[in-house]
Every structure is written in C-alpha cells, then in structure tokens.
Amino acid sequence: MSETGLLLINLGTPTAPETGPVRAYLREFLSDPRVLDMNPVGRALLLNLIILPFRPAKSARAYREIWDAQRGSPLMFHSVALTEAVSRELGQGWRVRLAMRYGQPSIAEGLRALQAEGVDRIVVLPLYPQYASSSTGSSMEEVYAQAARLPVVPELIPMRDFYAAPEFLDPAAALAKPLLSSSQADHVLFSFHGVPERQVTATNLGPAPCRFDEGCCATINTSNRACYRAQSFATARALAERLGLQKTNGA
C-alpha cells in the first residue's frame, strides 16, 4: 500500500535579497494572470516597462532588512520548519513536501518528489487561511496543470479555506493572548493582505451583490462563501471572541 503525500504550498520568495533574484521572482509572480488580472498586452507593458525596470532594486533593499544572515528568507526557513514539524506530527504513512507557487521549490518539483517516494495520493494544502483567486486559486490551478503533465497523474485531494477551523484559530489565539496581556493595548487592529475589489466581486457565487459595507460580510452565506473579504472578517470575529475583545468598528 502506497503512502499518502501532503504538499504544503506557500507563496514564494526570492533566492537572495539582490536585484537579480528579486527581478526573477517578481517576473514570475506578476506574470500570473490571477495576480495581475488584466489584458495580457497591458500586463506585459506594465510589467516590462514600469515594474521590472524600477521595482526590483527597491524591493531588494526591503528584503535585506528582514533577511537572516544564516537562515536566509524568513518565509522560507519558517516554511521549512513548519513542513518538518508537520511531518513529525503525521508520522509513518505520510510523506510531506513543501512547494512554492513562485520560485523554488516549485509545485512541479514537489509533485515529482512525492511520486518518486512512492506516493500516488496527494493531499494539497495551500497555506492561506482565506480563499483568494490570486493565492489559493492560483496555487490550485498550478497544481492541476503540473499534475496533468506527469506520466502518471496522481490522485489529488485539495484542502482550502481554513479561516474558521478551530485548528487554525485556537493556536493563533494562544499565541496572541500573552502578547495582548503584556502590552495592555487600548485597541487591537486585525490586518489582512488586500486584494482588488474586482477580485472580491468575481468570487460572488450567489444572487446578492457585493456592497462592501459592514452588513455585506457580517455572516458567511451562499453568495460570499468564497469571498476573501467575508472570510477575513469571519477570522477576525472568531479571534476577537477567543481573545475576549469587544467590537469597536467594522464587521
């Protein structure tokens, strides 16, 4: 009986905090039509005439401020540590690999490595709690595309949208509690990565239109069940409840 594989997917990182590697990373990242969801010609012009000539050097300086001299990219070494911890927790019968949507190790490499280890059944877990087309959607699209190129297409079991899972919320609250207790903060601000409004409205799956007001994302329903904004608010509400925080503004 073959073992089960688990492919953990994170966004990705440049290989070094220098202009060349950052340019290569940004080129791959921003060439994704789910990230820059615009006309292909406009995307190519924006990328090659405006972003890539100027942004890599600036971004490289920012990366150097957080880069660890021994361990490298924080996103990479933390992702590797997570992969190793999950592998230990799952134990025998599982093979766990890390892949990056952009950069290395690639999703194609992760799938091939798992197959080489005797895995025919792969659980795919993008490490994004809330669904967005530009993150989870892009990662799953790449998984299916790369799996389809393999001589033997593996069985894929996708996992996503764990924004409300107690296994995610309880540890997050446990990490936050001592920090909040020691800081004695007057207010707590929950911050999430932003996406364009057009990408939010595109994930509306029901008859109710997006209103982008407090009531629109107050609950998860048929229309907004895949909405990044609604899921982010749901995560914030759940964490606030676990932390005993009172609502002051927003959904």
User: What is the reported pLDDT for 246?
Assistant: 83
pTM of structure: 0.93
Nearest CA among 220, 228, 233 for reference residue 203: 228
175-189 burial string, b = 16+ CB within 10 Å, else e?
eeeeeeeeeeeeebe
pLDDT tens digits, 161-192: 999 999 999 999 999 999 998 988 888 999 99
**pLDDT score, position 34:** 97
Q: How far is CA 199 from CA 95, 137, 179, 195, in A?
A: 34, 11, 34, 7
Check residue 184 and give its pLDDT: 81
Q: What is the pLDDT of residue 214?
A: 79
The ranges of the chain with pLDDT < 70 are 1, 248-251
Q: What are the distances in angstroms from CA 82 to CA 7, 48, 127, 145?
A: 12, 35, 10, 26
- The whole-number pLDDT of residue 50 equals 96
pLDDT of residue 231: 97
